[in-house]
Structure 1
Amino acid sequence: MPDFNDDLRLAHILADAADAATMERFKSLDLKVETKPDMTPVSEADKRAEELIRSQLGRARPRDAVLGEEYGTEGSGPRRWIVDPIDGTKNYVRGVPVWATLIALMVRGEGGDEGVVGLVSAPALGRRWWAVKGGGAYTGRSLTSATRLRVSQVSRLADASFAYSSLSGWEEQGRLDGFLDLTRSCWRTRAYGDFWPYMMVAEGAVDICAEPELSLWDMAANEVIVREAGGRFTSLDGTPGPYGGNAAASNGLLHEETLAFLNRP
């Protein structure tokens, strides 16, 4: 199996640069914020973080393609970096510390593109998570100071903690009834939102999470980390990977039952 550890080390270097840029402007009174065509906000920090990541990738991996939320696709080929410079921009611009830079590397194989490196860095929380294909998932402050991640062993929805983002998206997608039935079947529910529920699934602190509408850059890094922690990450129709425009992640034991609720007519 190819060794992607050098790419993982590079992802940490990229995240260090992004963290410095985003933390410098976090809670700044003169932070510039614009509204994109899809009516979501983008700050100067989003753009600066992605520019830094693209610049470093251009020097370190000039043959690799890049897909980022703010600047789209650059290049082509069998290796592609997926970047969300700030996942949780609405939190960022309001001074809420739950936001992160998401970095993933996807490599083309016989079965299509596969995530082989995933890193999530949340500097305002003082947390970072990462994984490499076949090497497990970890959290810590550095590659040499880390704790391995493993999903929970909860096997009953009645004992499960379920995390989600918001109610409105489920209603817009026509899945609200099944979603509400799932919340009623679980032991505990909390709307943490964005990257954090997936990291808590990987840690074993949360057992299931789901979102009804997402982009590839929202999911690519999370998918690698959940998978390498022993969990499952699929679209709501059960297709493995981060390609379905929505997501469900779990410890694996509760996955099919979760999907059954979320796909009720």
Structure 2
Amino acid sequence: MLRKALILAAALGLAAAHQASAEVTQAPLKEATWSFEGPFGHFDQEQLQRGYKVYHDVCSACHSMNLMSYRNLGQLGGPFYDPKWPNPNDNLKVKAIAKDFNVPDIDGDTGDVIKRPATPADTFVKPFPNEAAARASNGGALPPDLSLIAKAREDGPRYIYSLLTGYVPAPAGLRVPAGKYYNPYMPGDLGSFWSGKGEAPKGGFIAMPLQLTDDRVTYDDGVKATADQEAKDVVAFLMWASEPHADERKQTGYAVMIFLFLFAGLVYASYRKLWKDIDHG
């Protein structure tokens, strides 16, 4: 009986030790401010245009946005919204963007599979035909779809910004697996890869190498394309993609609050008028 108790205690001790060593850590996220934060925040259209430029020129080589259609870019509050074209399908800028991509279709006369220029109604073209192709091109890793990434991660905007600008050389004593890159803002457990002094560093490994560097893109509005600026711009675009109606929802909220304030005042004035001659004593 005693032997069984000792074995059980040892097993529990090993399990606890393993759990402690498998603790997932992450460096505190970087501080950043965004125009869309708070109840009175809104998306900066020029920043959204720059962010789309970063996604188009850099991110779209590996990452899809399956829930986005080209016409979304021209909707109210979008990067290329123009009041001249309230219907985003008619937006000339959106049409020009979509036309640069080819999408599969079926020839109505022959039934053959063909390629045609995309229209605003088409979804964003995928960088890979299927998951197997995506993994084969990225060392076995599957690049996540970015349609909702800013909402799918806790503190999404700061997390993505920190991750994109957080690549640093691995500390001495940290063994980095082939095809992986150390990033302190990537949640992970580095205990089994650490042979240096003290505790293992915070962070984890990511399959994506550093992508954003100074002048990686050229902005049409003349803003200096530093790595930090590119990261902030693409984060704003991804946040908008996750909540494309955020500005409209906030504006509706303002109108509702004003209405309720005025209605409350009207009700109070009516109450005073109706009951002013009534003795409440």
Tell whether the structures are fold-level matches, with TM greater than 0.5: no
Higher strand share: 1
Determine which structure has greater relative contact order: mean sequence separation of CA pairs < 8 Å that are 6+ residues apart, divided by chain length: 2
Output the TM-score relative to the length of structure 2.
0.20
Higher helix share: 2
Output the TM-score relative to the length of structure 1.
0.21
